[in-house]
Structure 1
Amino acid sequence: MEIQKEVQAADVEIRKFGYGFADILVIRCAIQLGIADIIHKQGEPLTLSELEAQIPVKPVNTDHLHRLMRYMVHMKIFTKETPDGEERYGLAPLGKFLVNGWDRNMVSAILAVTDKDFMVPWYRLKDSLVGEGTAFEKALGKTICECMADHPEKKKPFNEAMACDTTRLLTSALIQDCKDLFQGIMSLVDVGGGTGTAMRDIAKTFPHLKCTIYDLPHVIADSPDYPEVDRIAGNMFKHIPSADGILLKCILHDLGDRQCIEILQRCKESVPREGGKVIIVDIVLDPESTDPLTKARLRLDLDMMVYTGGKERSEAEWKKLLNAAGFPRYKILHIAAVQSVIEAYPY
């Protein structure tokens, strides 16, 4: 009997894997229909007919909508209650992450990762184990950067997804958990700073800092002009502007070891001997950890393998990189995020 129960439990788990793709695409559908936004705007649970009236597609197949909502209630995205005998749907805690405008919403990130072109490379995962090149390159015939350049319509949602992940979630954790990190320095350059939203939040929290984002010319051209943040266009592989602190936030995990060492060496040249440091915000991988976020970190390592050819690194791997680049000292700070903070001291 015990063996039979184990087999049944294993059967349930493997079926979850088999249909895991469906759950995220159901959530994508809910975002496209604006279901969470409709309920949030109403401020109270809605009946199916009330929800149907506000969904921006017509005519709505009522039976299909009911079955979709029924499944998302089971997913704990929405709630269901029947105070007067009629089903009413409200927002569960998970559903709040699908509300546009909330500072912790995951809408852009979900839409980006479920884009067809970003899902196709996973079908070529097996091929990426043979020879050189990522699964993305083997699926689409170009790197992810080349794809963005060729399809500018994908660049905006991709940048919004990155801002969703790094600014609304990671940066808030960085500011709250590492206030001492920015004391003792007067200037900070965010290398690969993208739209500058992360640096804007840091500059507002630490007004003594002279904050600058540094990125490729086309990225800087498209970035908002925040008054708190200076913008410099350039190439991190050729030059990095001088500052007391250099911030590398989710940059090095995109790259191979040789490129990481090259960038870290340039960072070392750009900070002063007295008090200068490089702040790396990236995952410190421990596959044996029982931390609930370990699976997410390992999954992100596969993301790097599929899309960029980079990797998530263990502390031993980070130490090896830093030593090779001329950083004899470092310390790791764990924050309320998937990533950690590595303070690297070049002298």
Structure 2
Amino acid sequence: MDTSTLLAMENPKELLNAQAHIWNHIFAYHSSIALKCAIELGIPDTIQKHGNPMTLQDLANSLAITPTKTRSLYRLLRLLVHSNFFSMTKLVDGEEAYANNINSQLLLKDHPCTMSPFTLGMLDPTLTEPPHYLSKWFRNQDESVFYMVHGRSFWEHADLTPGFNQLFNQALASDAGIVSTALVDSKNFMKMVEALGSLLMGYKGMRVT
């Protein structure tokens, strides 16, 4: 029985759902690349500096976008809005405008909990290129995909590549910063610390017979 016959026997709805499922996984990386692009272009900071929602043309002008690529900027923004990194509203004259939300605020360079360094670090080609060779790695003796692509371990590469080393350290610092800030400011976390302290004091006072 050939493939076309087998497909014809399947439920059409299930086939379309399966196709959509595969499409979603194939193109999922577009969201990551769009996010990286937004940070590199400075979209969150530009909107923040403007103080109000910005129209497509205002953004294009402020970001010095090549005029012929304004339409592509529109597509980028639509994807980022769909991914909930920006909010889209309509001005009095009906024109669409884009604003930051809580997610894009964490991408601001001067935000105390900025995750821009972490985003750029994790999406650097140094880290995103190796996964493309995962299937090849399964059939050789290399210790890791990273080693296979770069010819050295991750830590050796970081030690010998100052630019990447700095990028990676900044990425880890920004990620740790937001976690520590959230925990320290959390009333529940402080209650847990106090409870743990009481437990330890009680344990210290116990006498083993």
Q: TM-score, normalised by structure 1?
A: 0.48
Structure 2: which amino acid aligns with 1:159?
A: N
Q: Give the structure with the higher percent strand.
A: 1
Structure-2 residue corresponding to 1:157: 167
For the pair 1:39 / 2:47, whether they are aligned, the reply is yes
In structure 2, give the amino acid aligned to 1:102.
Answer: H
Match of 2:176 among 156, 162, 166: 166
Provide the residue aligned with 1:105 in structure 2. Answer: 114
Which structure is richer in relative contact order (CA contacts within 8 A, separation 6 or more)?
2
Structure number, greater radius of gyration: 2
Question: Deviations 1:238-281 (Å, cap 9, x if unpaired)?
Answer: xxxxxxxxxxxxxxxxxxxxxxxxxxxxxxxxxxxx97xxxxxx
Q: Which runs of 5+ in 2 are unaligned?
A: 1-9, 205-209
Superposed CA RMSD in Å reads 2.5
Greater Cα offset, 71-80 or 32-41: 71-80
Matched, 1:55 2:55: no
AA matched with 1:99: L
Distance in 2 between the 1:62 and 1:181 partners? 56
Work out which of the residue numbers 20, 23, 27 in structure 2 matches 1:19: 27
Residue-by-residue CA offset, 1:43-102 (whole Å, 9 max, x unaligned): 210111211221155567222222222222222222222231211111233322322222
Of 135, 146, 149, which residue of structure 2 is paired with 1:126? Answer: 135
Give the number of aligned pairs: 184
State yes or no: 1:88 paired with 2:102. Answer: no
Tell me the SS of whatever aligns to 2:106: helix
CA distance in 1, matches of 2:142, 2:27: 30
Contact 1:46 1:89 in 2 (8 A): yes
Structure 1 gaps of 5+ residues are 185-273, 276-347
Distance 1:161 1:91 in 2: 22
Separation (CA, whole Å) in 2 of partners of 1:4 and 1:124: 34
Amino acid at match of 2:167: P
Task: Look up the SS of the partner of 1:137 in the other structure.
Answer: helix
Could you report, residue by residue, the CA deviation over 1:298-328 in whole angstroms, capped at 9, with x for unpaired residues?
Answer: xxxxxxxxxxxxxxxxxxxxxxxxxxxxxxx
| Residue aligning to 1:28 | 36
| 8 Å CA contact 2:31, 2:79 repeated in 1 | no
C-alpha distance in 2, partners of 1:57/1:142?
39
Q: Following superposition of structure 1 onto structure 2, how do residues 195-214 of structure 1 map, counting pairs within 5 Å?
A: none
Q: Which residue of 2 aligns with 1:137?
A: 147
Deviation, 1:183, is 4.4
Q: Deviations over 1:141-174 (max 9, x none)?
A: 00111111211011111111001112222x2354
Mapped partners of 1:59, 1:156: distance in 2 = 34
Report the Cα distance in structure 2 between the residues aligned to 1:181 and 1:162, rounded to whole angstroms.
Answer: 29
* Higher normalized helix content (fraction of residues): 2
Partner of 2:207 in structure 1? none
Q: Give the TM-score, by structure 2 length.
A: 0.77
Match of 2:193 in 1: 179
Give 4+ residue runs of structure 1 displaced > 4 Å after superposition: 56-60, 181-184
Amino acid at match of 1:160: Q
Partner of 1:65: 73
Q: SS state of the match for residue 53, structure 1? A: helix
Does the aligned pair in 1 maintain the 2:87–2:100 contact within 8 Å? yes
**Letter in structure 2 aligned against 1:73:** V
Instruction: Report if the CA contact (8 A) 1:33-1:56 is conserved.
Output: no
The secondary structure found in structure 2 opposite 1:99 is coil
**Contact 2:142–2:148 under 8 Å retained in 1:** no
Q: 1:309 maps to what in 2?
A: none
